[in-house]
């Protein structure tokens, strides 16, 4: 029911990182904590922070490949609230926050098959009125995109189109004019990639070039001044369908699929100061198809599936903190 909320105290125990599911993942610093779960079980979600809340939009669940769900999480009170649903059911969409609004970008609209019916839609959500409105569509329909905000504009990179082929497409949306324009494409076409804006640039990390086993370690950095992509230190563990967040000076890339029919538990951090990657405390269990956002000193990793191909979807919320000296 819309407007329904729940309250759950945060579990104060640290999740066991020595669990069998992550035995192969290198260990490093960091602390994982279990938080209040989502109201709905789902994977292939989109996650973004806005106004002190973390929103989880769209996704898929058992027997339904696209959803209209929209839930808001308050880290301060450990509570969830159902909000106005998406105008259409979507999975594998992008989600960013800019100018006091959320923007839901592209995705797959089929409710009966995975990676089907890519769309070019753009919907803007106003948390003050709890309502969505239609905005200008992208030039090309695609799902499994990377999306990030730079200088008040939305960059949408990569993805998979109507023909199910991965693309290197890069489009920029200006909320002020409700218009799109093309920009320099990725050096390598891929989807299910992570995109993070940091220090005036966009980092496009990982992803896949075909199936869930064709993972990439590619790490490209976009320079808006020159409208060009430059190579950066590759992702230590090639993977796709990971969740990424900026925490302090580190870009976190956690989880992914798929290796030997198991999901990844790896959690690796790219240090913006040194340009190097480091292993961090792995996920308590392998996971993919989830999303992440930062609130305060904690990165929140939400939803997703523990099994490859969308099996084992959950409503878990995992908080990750770095030691004070690493932030």
First to last CA, the chain: 39
Contact 244, 277 (CB under 8 A): no
Phi, psi for 77 (deg, rounded to 5): -110, 0
Instruction: Calculate mean pLDDT across residues 226-250.
Output: 98
What is the pTM (predicted TM-score) of this model? 0.92
- At 26 the pLDDT is 86
Q: Which residue has the higher pLDDT, 69 or 4?
A: 69
The three-class DSSP label of residue 207 is coil
Q: Is the pLDDT of residue 2 over 50?
A: no
Domains annotated on the chain, with CATH: 5-326 (2.120.10.80)
The three-class DSSP label of residue 20 is helix
- At 327 the pLDDT is 52
Find, among 61, 47, 46, 150, the residue nearest to 106 by Cα: 46
Q: Is the pLDDT of residue 246 over 50?
A: yes
Determine whether 48 is exposed, middle or buried from the number of CB atoms within 10 Å of its CB (0-12, 13-18, 19+).
Answer: buried
Confidence of residue 1 (pLDDT cuts 50, 70, 90): very low
Give residue 313's region: left, alpha or beta (phi > 0; psi -120 to 50): beta
247 DSSP β-pair partners: 250
Q: How many CB atoms lie within 10 A of CB 99?
A: 11
Find, among 120, 125, 73, 115, the residue nearest to 95 by Cα: 125
254: its two tokens: 């956690």
Question: How much is the mean pLDDT over the chain?
Answer: 92
Q: What percent of the chain has pLDDT over 90?
A: 87
Q: Is the dihedral of CA 244, 225, 189, 216 positive or negative?
A: negative
- At 93 the pLDDT is 98
Confidence of residue 15 (pLDDT cuts 50, 70, 90): very low
Tell me the per-residue pLDDT of 288-316, one tens digit each, with 9 for 90 and over: 999 999 999 999 999 999 999 889 999 99
Tell me the per-residue pLDDT of 127-173, one tens digit each, with 9 for 90 and over: 999 999 999 999 999 999 999 999 999 999 999 999 999 999 999 99
- At 212 the pLDDT is 83
Among the listed ranges 6-10, 113-117, 194-198, 267-271, which one has the minimum average pLDDT value? 6-10
Q: Is the pLDDT of residue 269 over 70?
A: yes
Confidence of residue 10 (pLDDT cuts 50, 70, 90): very low
Confidence of residue 326 (pLDDT cuts 50, 70, 90): low
Instruction: Calculate mean pLDDT across residues 244-250.
Output: 97
Give the neighbor-by-neighbor strand order of the sheet with 153-157. 146-150, 153-157, 170-174, 179-182
Tell me the per-residue pLDDT of 190-235, one tens digit each, with 9 for 90 and over: 999 999 999 999 999 999 999 888 999 999 999 999 999 999 999 9
Q: Is the pLDDT of residue 125 over 90?
A: yes
- At 23 the pLDDT is 43
Phi, psi for 326 (deg, rounded to 5): -95, -10
Q: What percent of the chain has pLDDT over 70?
A: 92
């Amino acid at each position: 029911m819309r407007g329904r909320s729940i309250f759950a105290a945060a579990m104060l125990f640290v999740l066991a990182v020595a669990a069998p599911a992550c035995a192969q993942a290198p260990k490093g610093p960091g602390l994982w904590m279990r938080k209040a779960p989502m109201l709905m079980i789902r994977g292939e979600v989109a996650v973004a922070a806005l106004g002190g809340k973390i929103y989880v939009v769209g996704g898929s669940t058992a027997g339904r490949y696209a959803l209209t769900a929209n839930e808001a999480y308050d880290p301060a009170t450990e509570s969830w609230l159902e909000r106005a649903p998406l105008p259409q059911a979507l999975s594998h969409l992008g989600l960013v926050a800019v100018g006091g609004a959320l923007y839901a970008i592209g995705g797959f609209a089929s409710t009966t098959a995975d990676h089907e019916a890519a769309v070019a839609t753009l919907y803007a959500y106003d948390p003050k009125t709890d309502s969505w409105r239609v905005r200008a569509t992208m030039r090309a329909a695609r799902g499994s995109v990377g999306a990030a905000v730079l200088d008040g504009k939305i960059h949408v990179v990569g993805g998979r189109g109507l023909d199910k082929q991965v693309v290197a497409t890069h489009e920029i949306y200006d909320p002020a004019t409700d218009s799109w324009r093309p920009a320099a494409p990725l050096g390598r076409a891929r989807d299910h990639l992570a995109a993070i804006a940091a220090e005036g640039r966009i980092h496009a990390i990982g992803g896949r070039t075909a199936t869930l086993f064709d993972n990439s370690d590619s790490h490209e950095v976009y320079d808006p001044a020159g409208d060009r992509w430059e190579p950066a230190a590759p992702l230590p563990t090639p993977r796709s369908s990971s969740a990424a967040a900026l925490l302090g000076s580190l870009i976190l890339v956690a989880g992914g699929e798929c290796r030997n029919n198991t999901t990844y538990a790896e959690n690796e951090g790219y240090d913006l100061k040194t340009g190097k990657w480091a292993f961090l405390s792995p996920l308590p269990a392998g996971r993919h198809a989830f999303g992440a956002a930062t609130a305060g000193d904690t990165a929140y990793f939400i939803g997703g599936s523990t099994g490859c191909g969308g099996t084992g979807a959950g409503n878990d919320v995992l908080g990750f903190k770095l030691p004070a000296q690493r932030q």
